[in-house]
Amino acid sequence: MVVALISRLTPTSSSLATAAATLTAAAIVRPLLRAVQGAVARRFNRFSYDAGRTVDEFGESLRHEVDTQRISVGLVAAARQTLEPQSLTFWPRSPP
């Protein structure tokens, strides 16, 4: 439909009509694609989708925690939930 409409507006240049139709179709479909991708991410990859909340919770726990061992465990847990790495190693710096 979009191709037919644009080819009627520009009858002399078929390549221009095709390019314009392609760009128009992409502009129309893009919001729908984002909505579908967001719904799929929320449904099937919830930990990754909730990464912002996980990082905020870890940041809040830093305000009340002074034990470096618990902070290290919390940091590793937050990294595992948000980034989902295959392996993770945390090397804390020695105090001066």
* Average pLDDT score over the chain: 79
Ranges of each domain in the chain: 2-44, 47-83
**In angstroms, rounded to a whole number, what is the distance separating the alpha carbons of residues 50 and 60?**
16
Please, what is the end-to-end C-alpha distance for the chain in angstroms? Answer: 70
* Measured distance CA(65)–CA(27) in Å, rounded: 48
The DSSP H or E segment spanning 89 is none
pTM for the whole structure:
0.45
Contact 81, 51 (CB under 8 A): yes
**DSSP-based three-state secondary structure for 84:** coil
Give the pLDDT confidence of 15-73 residue by residue, as tens digits.
777 777 788 888 888 999 999 988 887 777 766 667 778 888 888 888 887 888 888 88
